[in-house]
Amino acid sequence: MYQMVQEQIQAHLAEELSNWKAEQQVHEGIYVEWITNLELEVSKLCTELTEAQRTIQQPGPVRQNTPATDTQLNQVNKHDNNQTPKAREMSQQSRQEPTFADLAALLSTRPGGQEWQEVTKKKQKN
């Protein structure tokens, strides 16, 4: 009798162990899939980062065929407005890599940068 109970317990434990191993394999498969997907995403992001860094480090295009007055106005605005302190200009000249400020300056649409737009009140219709 004792041996029969022991065999039943061992069979039950073997079944539970087998079920547990099967669950572990399923979880392991899910984790391996997640890891693979994350590795692919990291690889894509590294490639994008490398391309972006390469783009930033390349010298910018030189403006051609611009009117002389535009160039003169830019120089006059820089000297008259005195927007950039000389120490900052010197530190920017000594840098090799472009900064966020350099990129923002390239994107600005006006020589002095963008200004706030004033919104006027609508005129009431009579």
Segments making up each domain of the chain, as ranges: 1-57, 69-107
CA–CA separation, 40 and 51 (whole Å): 17
More confident residue, 23 or 90: 23
Q: How many residues does the chain have?
A: 126
* 97 Cβ contact list (under 8 Å, min separation 6): 56, 57
Q: What pLDDT is recorded for position 99? A: 73
d(CA 44, CA 27): 26
More confident residue, 36 or 108: 36
Please indicate whether residue 119 or residue 16 has the higher confidence score (pLDDT): 16
Comparing 4-8, 48-52, 61-65, 71-75, which segment has the lowest mean pLDDT?
Answer: 71-75
* pTM for this entry: 0.38
Mean pLDDT of 86-115: 60
**Where is pLDDT greater, at 53 or 89?**
53
Q: Reply yes or no on whether the pLDDT at 11 is more than 90.
A: yes
- Within its chain, how far is the Cα of 113 from the centroid? 24
Look at residue 79 and tell me whether its pLDDT is greater than 70. no
Q: What is the pLDDT of residue 85?
A: 52
pLDDT of residue 16: 96
DSSP assignment letter at 115: -
